[in-house]
Amino acid sequence: MIKRFFILSSLCMVLGVSAQKSHTVVQGDNPYNIAKKYGITVDELLKLNPKHKDGKLAIGDILTIKSDKTTSPVVTKTVVAEKVKTTPVANGALGKIVLQPKQTIYGITKQYRISETDLRKLNPELDSHMKIGDEITLPLASIKKYGDSQQVIAAEKPVEISVEKNVTPSTPVAATEGEAYVIQAKDNYYRITKQFGISQQDLFALNPGLEEKGLKPGETIKIKKSTAADSVVTEPVHPKEKMDSGNEKPAASNTVVAGDDYVTYTVQQGDTVFSIVNRFGVSIDDLIALNPDLSHGLKTGMVLKIKKQDPVYIKKNGDALSVVLMLPFGYSTNETQYRGMALDFLTGAKLAIERNAKGGQKLDIKVVDSGNEASFKNSLTQINPENTDLIIGPFFKSNVIDVLDFTKNQKIPVVAPFANTPELYNYSNLIIVETNNQTYADKIVEEVKAVYSDQKIYVVADSKKENANYIKAGLEKAVKNPNVVIVNSPADIQLDQNMMTGQAAPVVAILANDDMGEAFANKIVALSKEAQGVKAFSMFYSPVFEKRVDDLSQASLVYLMDRKINTDGNFEKEILAAYKNKYCKTPPKYAIVGFDVVNDMLTRENKKGEIFKQMNKVQTQLATKFEFVKSKANGAYVNTGYRVIRLVP
């Protein structure tokens, strides 16, 4: 007798919500459910609220929301009965629609009154084919009834869909030696090896060529013999829980398993959504689209699908790592403008190269004179892209773009020591060393927010006022009704007046100008003597900050540094001594940069030249902190490392 089943998925409440410009965070809010409420993506929400780009929200925070959209929150309940005999979807023919801009899986299920399970059964490759212009198969009757003006591509014969209860089978599946298995749409290596109790190596051995071509739904593969007693059909709730004989090493590599269009990752203790998206270089929206359960929170042991990114460079030639340094000596064009800078950089780079070579790293180094911007393309002829593993330099943005275009087919890692503009963020094989001013400004806003209590805020700007305006905009979003005044000189900073007592009241002073450190320090010291509680912050370092520590500590000065040598550190002492022994002087600024950049890149490389697999490591060299994050999915790696120095009274 055929059992009947019911799917209740029509309990929908559609409420019109007027366009809003802000949202106050309440208990239970997170970026996902706020974005969903207002009909925007998580990425859009975080871009509108840069001070919350790490996703951390506190009750009472006010978020900016797009004001040009209205939303219709939908509440849905779904009850699925136990597995039954297959039944045709919509009892009729199928048709196809063309995916339109802003259409999502969720939106399609709601518009065409179809469950996500049935939609995926009709479109097994749905996750990897969500692109505008793709064809989506749906019941023809639903398209005609709910499709508005959306085009129907073609009608197909009806197919049967199995509706299943989401339960764990109680009996394992046994397979015999060499038994055939048909690959299913959602299969991956991890799922198959766990299901049949075999290792990934055995699976590849039984199926030559499988590792190279990957799993293809509908194809047949061979499965190694296993017994019902040791076969497994479901993934454990806690993958790291296992019997330990005492001499086994934990298999850390099992947390990431490759599939065809995505990899799977098992969530570890301490993981956050943002650490995962940074590790894999994907957007939050891409992660949630593949893993809808994330809307209920991240849990240790969850197996997440991660969209595969663009292929990265893998070394192809020999044991030695072939490195090219492109430096603007200007010998070929008889220009000397940047020669001193290039020569200093090279002295530091040579020290790093020798240090790593002594450590056993095989290196083949080539130094290229990159000349000037006009003659630069001639220098590219000295590079063989088929036998180069890493390019450090050139210094200037336009030249960096030329190198990236020149090596685009090989995806050779290119390191930009000084160039950092949004124009470069689209190149997936680019590593940007210089931390940009926006990163520093965001930190200053965060620091001011922590001490703000209705003081007047002065921001000392440079001639362009870009940093000052950015900080002002950030403060106006971060704190309630701030009085922010942008001034051209530290001399314009004045103490406020207490309206009740008539006495001088402390202010907050921020330096957003790299050339006024000494004048800023003098003004802060003077103000601190007139009123207690003055707070000072600087985006930039100035030597005077170290000379007047005692005076500036009265204003609790907080300043940021991109490069600072800890002269008490053993590593730093060793490098400084080695440089002085080699060149008979203390390393100048660009020699320090040369050492730090080259040493950091070489220590991230391995024998296969897989530098991009090591970019998640945070490293501090002689003076520079390197903490790389992806600028966007399939974008450049950008250094966000800096040091915060706090002077305490």
DSSP 174: P
Question: Domain ends where: 161, 194, 217?
Answer: 161
Mean pLDDT of the chain: 77
| Residue recorded with tokens 């629609």 | 97
**644 located within any domain:** no
**364 located within any domain:** yes
pLDDT of residue 80: 34
pLDDT of residue 151: 53
**Domains contained in the chain, number:** 5
State both tokens at 416: 């930009």
**341 located within any domain:** yes
**80 located within any domain:** no
Residue 65's pLDDT band (cuts 50, 70, 90): confident
Instruction: Mark whether 346 and 424 lie in a shared domain.
Output: yes
Question: Domain ends where: 307, 337, 355?
Answer: 307
pLDDT of residue 638: 94
Taking the C-alpha atoms of residue 483 and residue 457, their distance in angstroms, rounded to an integer, is 6
**In what helix (H) or strand (E) does residue 432 lie, and over which residues does it extend?**
strand 430-432
From residue 589, give the alpha-carbon distance in Å to each of 299, 347, 594, 603: 46, 11, 9, 21
SS3 at position 583: helix
pLDDT of residue 133: 65
Residue pair 281/633 in contact by the 8 Å Cβ criterion: yes
Residue 282's closest CA among 303, 257, 307? Answer: 307
State both tokens at 391: 């390019």
Q: Where are the alpha helices (DSSP H) in 359-409?
A: 376-379, 397-406
Taking the C-alpha atoms of residue 203 and residue 181, their distance in angstroms, rounded to an integer, is 12
With pLDDT > 90 as the criterion, what percentage of the chain qualifies? 34
pLDDT digits (tens, 9 = 90+) for 16-37: 333 446 888 877 777 777 877 7
User: Does the bond joining 394 to the residue before it have cis omega, within 30 degrees of 0?
Assistant: yes
Lowest mean pLDDT across 286-290, 524-528, 540-544, 598-602: 286-290
Question: Domain ends where: 64, 79, 114?
Answer: 64
pLDDT of residue 416: 96
Mean local confidence (pLDDT), 613-621: 87
Q: What CATH number is associated with residue 611?
A: 3.40.50.2300
Residue 257's pLDDT band (cuts 50, 70, 90): low
Q: pTM for this one?
A: 0.54
Residue pair 181/222 in contact by the 8 Å Cβ criterion: yes
**13 located within any domain:** no
pLDDT of residue 73: 39
Instruction: Mark whether 520 and 499 lie in a shared domain.
Output: yes
Residue 583's pLDDT band (cuts 50, 70, 90): very high
Q: What CATH number is associated with residue 133?
A: 3.10.350.10
User: What is the dihedral angle through the alpha carbons of 154, 155, 158, 162, rounded to the nearest 10 degrees?
Assistant: 40
pLDDT of residue 512: 95
Instruction: Mark whether 303 and 183 lie in a shared domain.
Output: yes
Strands 558-561, 535-538: pairing kind: parallel
Q: What CATH number is associated with residue 522?
A: 3.40.50.720
Instruction: Mark whether 500 and 555 lie in a shared domain.
Output: yes
Instruction: Mark whether 429 and 442 lie in a shared domain.
Output: no
Residue 66's pLDDT band (cuts 50, 70, 90): low
Instruction: Mark whether 228 and 297 lie in a shared domain.
Output: yes
Burial bucket for residue 518 (CB in 10 Å: 0-12, 13-18, 19+): middle
**372 located within any domain:** yes
Residue 4 pLDDT greater than 80, yes or no = no
pLDDT of residue 157: 46
> Greater confidence, 147 or 381?
381
Instruction: Mark whether 607 and 633 lie in a shared domain.
Output: yes
State both tokens at 556: 């609790």
State both tokens at 140: 């023809």
Instruction: Mark whether 426 and 442 lie in a shared domain.
Output: no
Lowest mean pLDDT across 179-183, 248-252, 322-326: 248-252
Mean local confidence (pLDDT), 28-51: 77
Mean local confidence (pLDDT), 610-616: 85
**632 located within any domain:** yes
pLDDT of residue 508: 96
> Greater confidence, 565 or 555?
555
pLDDT of residue 518: 95
**575 located within any domain:** no
pLDDT digits (tens, 9 = 90+) for 189-219: 666 776 777 766 677 778 777 765 677 777 8
Instruction: Mark whether 191 and 283 lie in a shared domain.
Output: yes
With pLDDT > 70 as the criterion, what percentage of the chain qualifies? 75
> Which residue segment(s) compose the domain that 59 sits in?
22-64
Burial bucket for residue 553 (CB in 10 Å: 0-12, 13-18, 19+): middle
| Residue recorded with tokens 């359960």 | 293
Taking the C-alpha atoms of residue 132 and residue 305, their distance in angstroms, rounded to an integer, is 21
Instruction: Mark whether 274 and 193 lie in a shared domain.
Output: yes
Residue 418's pLDDT band (cuts 50, 70, 90): very high
pLDDT of residue 111: 83
Lowest mean pLDDT across 355-369, 429-443, 559-573: 559-573
pLDDT of residue 130: 60
Q: Where are the alpha helices (DSSP H) in 6-125?
A: 31-38, 42-48, 105-111, 116-122
Lowest mean pLDDT across 527-541, 591-605, 624-638: 624-638
Instruction: Mark whether 446 and 537 lie in a shared domain.
Output: yes
Instruction: Mark whether 429 and 482 lie in a shared domain.
Output: no
Taking the C-alpha atoms of residue 508 and residue 459, their distance in angstroms, rounded to an integer, is 9
pLDDT digits (tens, 9 = 90+) for 311-336: 555 566 677 899 999 999 988 778 88
Residue 234 pLDDT greater than 90, yes or no = no
Lowest mean pLDDT across 108-117, 298-307, 353-362, 569-578: 108-117
